[in-house]
Structure formats: C-alpha cells, structure tokens
C-alpha cells in the first residue's frame, strides 16, 4: 500500500492557478525563483505536511553537469521551504529499471548483449555510476552526512534515495500497477493513445528483454510475444510489466506522494510528458499534478549544443569541484533564473569571469537583501571568509610569478592581503593550481616551438653553477637572450623572473634543467611550473574526488 495518501484536489487552487498561469510562468517579484516555487508548495499543502521533492535520472552513463541542474533545483526549493519554516525532503530516484538502448549496448562494452534489458542488469556498472554521483553530491554539500555510499539514510529524514529496479522487483508498486493494467484503455484515452497495451512493455520472462508486444492485458496478467527470442508467455507479476515513461512517472508520484519535481523545459512544452499527463492527475488520480520546476539547458562554453552524456560524457561535477569551492559551484546554477540556459566552461574567460562575479556577489551579501537570500539558499557556511580573499586573477599571477610554488605564492599573497582567511586562501591556491594543470596550461605557458639552445643558455648554465647568492646571476641579457632561455626551460617566449626561479628551485636545479634541454631536448621544469605535483593542488583534487 502507498505509505501515505496525497491530498485529493480536482485542480489547483484558483489563486495559485492565476498566479502560475502555466508551467513557465513565475512570480518575478520573489527574491529568488526557488522562493516562488516554495511558496506555491506551501500554499498548496497544510503546515504539517512533509513536502517531497523528487529529482530523478537514468544511469545510462556517468551523470554530467547537465544532469546536476535537476538536483540543484530540488536542493534550492528544499532550502527555500526550510527558510519558510516548512518541512520537506528530497527523493533522489535512480531509474535503473529503464531499458538499455540498443545503440548504447553496441557502443558500451560493459552493456554488450544488454539491449532491451534493465540498466540494473549490469549491477556493478549501475552501482558505480550512482555512487560516483552521490559522492559528488556529498562533496558539494547536497547529500546529508549521514547518508551511506548508496545514498540511503535513516527513515523520516530530509533525504531518500530510491533505486527503481529494487522498487519494482520488490513489488512496491504492485497494487497500483494492477490498477493501471486494469484501466489501461481509460488511461490511453486520457493520454491520447489508441491502445492501452501500448502504455506497457513486458520484460520477457525468457530472455529478459523488453522487445515484446502485448496481446492481452488486464489487472492480473499480460500475455505477450517476445520479438527477440520468440517466446509467447504470460507475465503474472506486475514487476515484469514496465509502464511507459509518462505512466511510470504518474504511478510513482501517486505511490510516493511526490509534490514537486524539476524537469527540463523539453519535458514541459506543449505535448510533452508534463503537459500530456495532466488529464491522468485530474481525471484518474483525482489529485493535482506536482509543482513542476522547469529549467533550461546546460551548454558548453562554445557552440550551441547542450551537455549530453550520449555524446561522450562530461564534464562532471567533480571537474567543477576541482577548480571551484562548493558554494561557487552551487552559485553557478542558482545565480540565473531556472528557465534560462546556462553556459559553463573551463577556459580562461568562463573560469576567471565566474570567480570575479562570485567575489562581487559574496561582498554584496552583507548589504544586499537578494544577495543574502541567495547565499542562504546555497549553503550554511558563513560568507565572510570568501570576502577576504584576493581575486583569482591575483592568485594565478602570484603562482606564475613564483614558479607555481604554492608556499611562495601564499607568502606573497598574505603580505598583500593580511586579512585573508588562511584556510580559504589555501583552497583557492589549490583550485588555481588544478586549473593551471588541467585547463590553463596553454594560456599561461603557450608553446613557441623548439629552438636550439645557444650561447645565452650556455653562459647562464655556467653562471648558475658558480652562483652562491640570492636570485640569479646578473648579466646584460637582451630580449633574444631571454627568449632563448625561456624557450629552453619551458618552450615559451617568457616566464617567471629568473631570480624567482633560482630562489624557488635553487640555481643548481635551474642549471640542470637548462642542460637537460641543451643535451637531451627535455624540459623537466615545465610540468612542475604548470601545476605538477604541488601539495596544495593534490589536496584540492582530493577534496573534489
């Protein structure tokens, strides 16, 4: 039986209907869009009601930064409700009972011979994908600390994780499934379909595929023929009869008592799932459709296409966390209206622009009401420490000038910004080094090609071998001499001051690096200066993994 009964209402309240005016309408006077949707939910449900917000996705591949927008929307509405004093919870549903597409089975060796079978057929693969996403949600501060690696928490809290393969196979939906099968023709009429049997597919009892056509369907059984193995059998257990996506959604809403769900705008347009299923709620279930939070696409920094796992996967939340603190990652999604498309990237423009805008936002939290509300929707952290930090451009400049030595750059930055929060400064240094290593190397260390080492390199090697003082030995070097020296060290036309390199790496090590290029064509300092194995970078990557 369903664990709780939804309030029965034939249609939204007139005041709510007038205010919402459709899935894409918003109250633009609200301080943030999440507060608007939270207010709709608070108006719809009595004060003692626990409002349940579902975020769901299918583990066809690792979840990318586009999938993440669904969960962030749920998180922000959940926090907006808490800010109103209302009790709510997030239900993360992994749709691992969905079938594997034939094209994916042909492309992914782990899914070979799984076309038409449930995604959970490869249990280790599905678990690995879901656990990776849960680890990212924990790192960004969305998944509660008490959740285990599979996202499971004690009953009655503000987080639940469901795996649909488990729910179906355990018979959680059995009673309502039988009702749906019995009323298949009525449901087909409500959904504008001609045949109720087309709303279901049987996972074949013989081969496990859903490539079946149903010949007879009622509340007790489904007689079918499998187009893959040729079996003609009868499925008596509703767990073997999977409703179509639209019907499956209404079934779970009715059983779980889901009150709100984010959805991409492609699912909210005329004729889409959210539009077509309204008659099922009004004319069959007798309860209002959940409050839908429509959101736009997440696009890369170049081109017009959306981020898509089917196009190769990534980037992932862990990639964002490698170069941004958790509040900034959430802010990237919350700063714009949920209806707007987002463009995220890791190039110098998007990366530095995001930090510049985030720093301005943090400094405004103490004096601007909307900024304060947005910060409270993002996190429970105090914003003050972030407001003390130097700009990311300054951090990158300090690292560049000090040979990518985090310790030297830290001393320089602390001298210029004595009030900077030390722990957050170390974090920003780590993120800067991670970005330099993974994304910014060619921007800061643009290669100029290989040129032979000449007399300027030979002279500097000799001088460094004999040098005992601070910095690098002095000489009347020309611009061409410096191009020759930096070309030997890094393959670039310029670089950090030679004095800095000598202080950071010692004169002997710089001399060895120059000799390595002259004698063998190697540049051992290049990897170290572009982020190599610095401790701060490793700590930043560890926090994001």
pLDDT one-digit tens code per residue, 437-450: 888 777 766 677 77
> Can you give the pLDDT at residue 183?
98
Give the span between the Cα atoms of 23 and 450, in whole angstroms: 59
Peptide bond connecting 190 to the previous residue in cis, omega within 30 degrees of 0: no
Helix (H) or strand (E) holding 158: none
Calculate the alpha carbon distances from 335 to 32, 68, 140, 218, 499 in Å. 9, 15, 16, 49, 43
Taken in order 527, 533, 539, 542, the sign of the CA dihedral is positive
The single-letter DSSP state of residue 115 is: B
Q: What is the pLDDT of residues 337-371, one digit of tens each?
A: 999 999 999 999 999 999 999 999 999 999 999 99
> Within 10 Å of residue 234's Cβ, how many Cβ atoms?
13
- Residue matched to tokens 């004999």: 466
Q: Are 363 and 387 in contact (CB under 8 A)?
A: yes
Give the model's pLDDT for residue 121. Answer: 93
pLDDT value at 544 more than 70: no
**Chain segment 385-426, per-residue pLDDT in tens:** 999 999 999 999 898 888 788 898 999 999 999 999 999 999
Residue 21 reports pLDDT greater than 60:
no
Question: Model-level pTM?
Answer: 0.85
**In sequence order, which ranges of 335-478 are alpha helices (DSSP H)?**
348-364, 369-378, 384-387, 392-401, 406-416, 422-438, 441-444, 455-466
Report residue 43 as tokens. Answer: 């108006």
Least confident of 231-240, 377-386, 512-521: 512-521
The DSSP secondary-structure symbol of 347 reads: S
Task: Count H helices and E strands in the chain, helices first.
Answer: 26, 12
Mean pLDDT of all residues in 296-311: 73
**Distance set, CA 469 to CA 335, 463, 511 (Å):** 52, 11, 15
Position 195 scores a pLDDT of: 95
Retrieve residue 232's tokens.
């003609």
- In this structure, are residues 452 and 368 in contact, taking their beta carbons and an 8 Å threshold? no
Which one, of 522, 539, 520, 543, lies nearest residue 531 by Cα? 539
Q: Residue 489 — pLDDT band, cuts 50, 70, 90?
A: confident
Structure confidence at residue 19 as a pLDDT band (50, 70, 90): very low
Note the maximum CA span of the chain.
Answer: 93
Residue 7 vs residue 457, higher pLDDT: 457
Q: Are 532 and 404 in contact (CB under 8 A)?
A: yes
Say whether pLDDT at 6 is over 50: no
Alpha-carbon distance of 290 to 158, in angstroms, equals 18
Backbone angles phi, psi at 206, to 5 degrees: -95, -50
Judged against a pLDDT cut of 80, whether residue 47 lies above it is answered with: yes
Please check whether residue 129 is in contact with residue 59, taking contact to mean a CB–CB distance below 8 angstroms.
yes
């Amino acid at each position: 039986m369903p664990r709780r009964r939804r309030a029965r209402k034939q249609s939204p309240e007139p005041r709510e209907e007038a205010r919402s005016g459709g899935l894409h309408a918003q109250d633009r006077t609200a301080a943030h869009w999440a507060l608007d949707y939270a207010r709709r939910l608070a108006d719809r449900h009595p004060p003692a009601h626990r409002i349940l917000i579902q975020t769901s996705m299918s583990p066809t591949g690792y979840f990318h930064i586009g999938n993440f927008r669904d969960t962030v929307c749920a998180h922000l509405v959940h926090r907006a409700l808490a800010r109103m004093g209302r009790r709510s919870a997030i239900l993360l549903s992994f749709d691992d009972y969905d079938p594997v597409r034939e094209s994916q089975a042909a492309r992914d060796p782990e899914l070979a011979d799984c076309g038409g079978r449930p995604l959970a057929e490869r249990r280790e693969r599905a678990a690995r994908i879901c656990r990776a996403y849960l680890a990212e949600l924990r790192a960004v501060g969305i998944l509660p600390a008490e959740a285990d690696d599979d996202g499971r928490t004690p009953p009655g809290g503000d987080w639940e994780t469901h795996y649909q393969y488990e729910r179906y196979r355990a018979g959680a939906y059995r009673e309502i499934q039988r009702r749906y099968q019995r009323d298949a023709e009525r449901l087909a009429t409500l959904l504008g379909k001609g045949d109720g049997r087309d709303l279901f597919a049987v996972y074949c009892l013989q081969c496990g595929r859903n490539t079946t056509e149903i010949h007879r369907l009622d509340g007790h059984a489904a007689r079918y023929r499998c187009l893959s193995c040729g079996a003609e059998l009868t499925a008596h257990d509703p767990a073997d009869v999977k409703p179509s996506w639209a019907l499956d959604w209404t079934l779970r809403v009715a059983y779980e008592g889901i009150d709100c769900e984010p959805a991409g705008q492609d699912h909210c347009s005329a004729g889409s799932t959210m539009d077509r299923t309204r008659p099922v709620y009004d004319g069959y279930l007798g309860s209002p459709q959940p409050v839908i939070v429509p959101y736009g696409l997440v696009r890369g920094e170049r081109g017009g296409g959306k981020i898509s796992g089917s196009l190769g996967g990534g980037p992932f939340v862990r990639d964002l966390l490698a170069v941004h603190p958790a509040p900034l990652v959430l802010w990237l999604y919350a700063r714009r209206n949920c209806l707007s498309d987002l463009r995220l990237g890791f190039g110098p423009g998007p990366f530095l622009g995001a930090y510049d805008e985030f720093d301005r936002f943090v400094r405004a939290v103490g004096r601007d009401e909307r900024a304060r509300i947005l910060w409270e929707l993002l996190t429970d952290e105090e914003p003050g420490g972030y407001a003390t930090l130097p700009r990311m451009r300054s951090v990158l400049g300090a690292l560049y000038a000090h040979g990518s030595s985090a310790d030297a750059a830290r001393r320089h930055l602390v001298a210029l910004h004595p009030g900077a929060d030390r722990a957050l400064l170390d974090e920003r240094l780590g993120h800067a080094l991670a970005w330099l290593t993974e994304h910014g190397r060619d921007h800061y260390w643009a290669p100029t090609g290989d040129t032979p080492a000449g007399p300027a390199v030979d002279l500097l090697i000799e001088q460094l071998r004999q040098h005992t003082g601070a910095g690098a030995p002095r000489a009347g070097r020309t611009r061409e001499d410096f191009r020759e020296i930096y070309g030997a060290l890094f393959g670039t036309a310029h670089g950090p001051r030679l004095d800095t390199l000598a202080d950071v790496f010692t004169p002997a090590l710089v001399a060895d690096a120059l000799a390595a290029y002259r004698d063998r064509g190697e540049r051992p300092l290049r990897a170290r200066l572009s982020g190599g194995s610095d401790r701060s970078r490793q700590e930043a990557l560890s926090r994001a993994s």
